């Protein structure tokens, strides 16, 4: 269990969105950000990786979108705002998943905020 200030990268109060959070790489990035005290929103079209835990009071939240509909930056930002009661995102980490889905539109929509 991390306590405030015991990690060299202390991101307390910061919000990060991680795409393809269900992949091995995405889940590892989510865990490291959580160890750094960040609030992390994992985004993917498949269920969350087994190594990430989510609950209403958790610093980790997961947003599973419908693969048949395109994910927009507004969807991800709105979900992050609802979960963390913060209107901006500090970090946007775009992990290319095994299916190599295109997240260019999402990056363009989120990048002014991240």
Tens digits of residue pLDDT in 26-42: 999 999 999 888 999 99
Q: What is the pLDDT of residue 48?
A: 82
* Mean pLDDT of the 34-59 span: 82
pTM for the predicted model, two decimal places: 0.77
Per-residue pLDDT band for 114 (boundaries 50, 70, 90) equals very low
Domains of the chain: 15-110 (3.40.50.720)
* Mean pLDDT of the 89-114 span: 65
- Is residue 37 within 8 Å of 7, Cβ to Cβ? yes
| Sign of the CA dihedral with 9 first, then 64, 66, and 29 last | positive
Q: What is the pLDDT of residue 9?
A: 76
Q: What is the pLDDT of residue 17?
A: 93
Please give the order of strands across the beta sheet that includes 60-64.
Answer: 60-64, 39-44, 15-19, 91-93
pLDDT digits (tens, 9 = 90+) for 63-87: 988 878 877 778 888 889 998 888 8
Average pLDDT, whole number, for the chain? 79
Q: What is the pLDDT of residue 29?
A: 94
Residue 90: which residues within 8 A CB-CB, separation 6 or more?
A: 11, 14, 15, 16, 38, 114
């Amino acid at each position: 269990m991390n306590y405030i200030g015991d990690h060299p990268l202390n991101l307390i109060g910061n919000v990060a969105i991680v795409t393809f959070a269900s992949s091995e790489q995405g889940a590892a990035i989510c865990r490291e950000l959580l160890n750094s005290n960040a609030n992390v929103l994992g985004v993917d079209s498949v269920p969350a990786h087994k190594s990430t835990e989510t609950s209403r009071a958790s610093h980790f939240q997961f947003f599973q979108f419908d693969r048949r509909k395109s994910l927009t930056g507004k969807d991800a930002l709105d979900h992050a705002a609802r979960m963390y009661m913060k209107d901006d995102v500090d970090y946007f980490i775009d992990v290319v998943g095994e299916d190599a889905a295109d997240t260019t539109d999402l990056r363009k929509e989120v990048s002014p905020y991240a």
